[in-house]
């Protein structure tokens, strides 16, 4: 099968461009709604197309000019569209003054603006609104190695993916990896075989899709109709916090029809992969699709298979964050 060893082009659904390291240095001239400013703290949010990542600083006692020098790191998905939101609050709830904390000021910084206007690694003064003071932050950006284009295109050939990720993603010493993140799991959903070409009582070819998840992270391929041998050729990434504990679940489902109901995906089989499995990233591999109650220790097959039982071919690679 030519598809086993050759990655022509694959569809990228979710991919990360790099890491943004942020040092919250200090704030000056903060103006609260009450007389004085009590225990200011900061909340930073990275807003991307796939969601929001949030970090909260410590609170500094009874000052309008707090110094934090605290650091965090965010994953960057799209350098053109991701924005960093900076909000400063008074810690009123802890002081039992109000049921909510009053906001002192806010600022929204598109990453594109940061790249254009300020060298990386220098302090950046951010206004929090007219008369509300300012915050000082230091930014460092590490873009994952991606030839000729820092923002991944929609279709990516194999050779570019191999250059972008090896077994490690090397970070400079001044970039601190995000808390509880050890790397990324790259999954290529290639094709299936041995699947029923139509559902019970149907005469037209069935449509199949693959749903992958690790914890709360989830990805689904597009449905594919192909007489029991769907070819998906789609790619995604998952954030990994523990190779010893995280498990990749792969479910193959048949799309609903007017007979089964509009919201009833029909399970065909599943694969569960412990990320600590030896030789996990050995290239494109066939896996038996298991049924509920099956024993999962014999699901892995080989690089070639002629069995007619329902199977799926996956290519799984674990790329760890490391300093180089």
Is residue 251 assigned to a domain? Answer: yes
> What percentage of the chain carries pLDDT values higher than 70?
66
pLDDT tens profile 286-304 = 999 998 765 544 455 544 5
Q: Which residue has the higher pLDDT, 169 or 78?
A: 78
Residues 27 and 127 in one domain: yes
* DSSP symbol at 298: G
Residues 193 and 313 in one domain: yes
Residues 150 and 29 in one domain: yes
Residues 161 and 74 in one domain: yes
Is residue 172 assigned to a domain? Answer: no
Choice among 7-11, 196-200, 247-251, 254-258 with the minimum mean pLDDT: 7-11
pLDDT score recorded for residue 160: 38
Residue 28: enclosing H or E segment and its boundaries? strand 18-28
Is residue 8 assigned to a domain? Answer: no
Q: How far is CA 318 from CA 75, 113, 237, in A?
A: 17, 33, 10
Residues 45 and 72 in one domain: yes
pLDDT tens profile 60-117 = 988 999 999 998 888 888 888 899 999 999 887 555 555 678 889 999 999 888 776 6
308-311 contacts, C-beta under 8 A, 24 or more apart: 308/193, 308/194, 309/194, 310/192, 310/193, 310/194, 310/195, 310/252, 310/268, 310/269, 311/192, 311/193, 311/194, 311/286, 311/287
Is residue 4 assigned to a domain? Answer: no
When divided into structural domains, the chain yields a total of 2
- Distance in angstroms (rounded) separating the CA atoms of residues 63 and 68: 12
pLDDT score recorded for residue 320: 77
Residues 223 and 300 in one domain: yes
Is residue 27 assigned to a domain? Answer: yes
Expressed as residue numbers, the domain containing 71 is 18-165
Last residue of a domain, one of 132, 165, 198: 165
Residue 114: enclosing H or E segment and its boundaries? helix 111-117
- Distance in angstroms (rounded) separating the CA atoms of residues 55 and 138: 15
Mean per-residue pLDDT over the chain, rounded: 75
Q: What is the CATH number of the domain that holds 47?
A: 2.60.40.150
Residues 128 and 200 in one domain: no
Averaged over 209-227, what is the pLDDT? 85
pTM of the prediction? 0.60
pLDDT score recorded for residue 171: 61
pLDDT score recorded for residue 164: 44
> What percentage of the chain carries pLDDT values higher than 90?
24
Using the predicted structure, report yes or no on whether residue 152 has a pLDDT greater than 50.
Answer: no
Is residue 77 assigned to a domain? Answer: yes
Averaged over 263-277, what is the pLDDT? 86
pLDDT score recorded for residue 303: 47
Last residue of a domain, one of 139, 165, 191: 165
Averaged over 250-276, what is the pLDDT? 80
Binned at pLDDT 50, 70 and 90, residue 57 comes out as very high
Using the predicted structure, report yes or no on whether residue 226 has a pLDDT greater than 60.
Answer: yes
Residues 90 and 161 in one domain: yes
Last residue of a domain, one of 165, 199, 226: 165
Averaged over 265-278, what is the pLDDT? 89
Residues 29 and 161 in one domain: yes
pLDDT score recorded for residue 172: 58
Residues 121 and 199 in one domain: no
pLDDT score recorded for residue 35: 52
Provide CB contacts within 8 A for 284, sequence distance 6+: 3, 4, 5, 188, 190, 303, 313, 314, 315
Is residue 96 assigned to a domain? Answer: yes
Q: In the chain, what is the straight-line distance between the N-terminal and C-terminal CA atoms, in Å?
A: 38
Residue 231: enclosing H or E segment and its boundaries? strand 231-240
pLDDT score recorded for residue 145: 53
Residues 276 and 161 in one domain: no
Q: Which residue has the higher pLDDT, 211 or 182?
A: 211
Residues 123 and 205 in one domain: no
Residues 111 and 79 sit within 8 Å (Cβ to Cβ): yes
Is residue 246 assigned to a domain? Answer: yes
């Amino acid at each position: 099968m030519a598809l086993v060893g050759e990655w022509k082009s694959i569809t990228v659904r979710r991919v990360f461009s790099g890491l943004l390291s942020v040092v919250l240095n200090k704030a000056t001239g903060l103006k609260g709604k009450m007389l004085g400013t009590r225990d200011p703290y900061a909340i930073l949010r990275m807003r991307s197309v796939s969601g929001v990542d949030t970090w909260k600083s410590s609170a500094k006692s009874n000052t309008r000019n707090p110094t934090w020098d605290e650091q965090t790191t965010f994953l960057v998905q799209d350098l053109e569209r991701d924005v960093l939101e900076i909000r400063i609050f008074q810690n009123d709830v802890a002081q039992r003054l109000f049921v909510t904390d009053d906001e002192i000021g806010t600022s929204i910084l598109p990453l594109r603006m940061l790249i254009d206007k300020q060298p990386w690694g220098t302090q950046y003064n951010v206004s929090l609104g007219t008369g509300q003071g300012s915050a000082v932050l230091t930014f460092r950006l590490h873009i994952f190695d991606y030839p000729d284009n820092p923002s991944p295109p929609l279709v990516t050939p194999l050779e570019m993916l191999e250059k972008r990720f090896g077994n490690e993603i090397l970070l400079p010493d001044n970039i601190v990896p995000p808390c509880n993140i050890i790397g990324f799991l790259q999954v290529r959903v290639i094709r299936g075989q041995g699947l029923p070409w139509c559902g019970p009582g149907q005469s037209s070819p069935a449509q199949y899709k693959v749903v992958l998840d690790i914890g709360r992270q989830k990805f689904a391929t597009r449905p594919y109709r192909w007489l029991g041998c769907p070819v998906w050729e789609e790619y995604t990434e998952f954030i990994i916090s523990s190779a010893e504990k995280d498990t990749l679940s792969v479910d193959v489902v048949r799309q609903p029809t007017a007979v089964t109901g509009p919201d009833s995906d029909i399970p065909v089989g599943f694969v569960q992969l412990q990320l600590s499995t030896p030789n996990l990233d050995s290239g494109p591999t066939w896996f038996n699709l298991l049924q509920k109650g099956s024993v999962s220790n014999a699901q892995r097959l080989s690089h070639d298979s002629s069995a007619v039982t329902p199977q799926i071919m996956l290519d799984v690679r674990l790329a760890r964050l490391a300093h180089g």
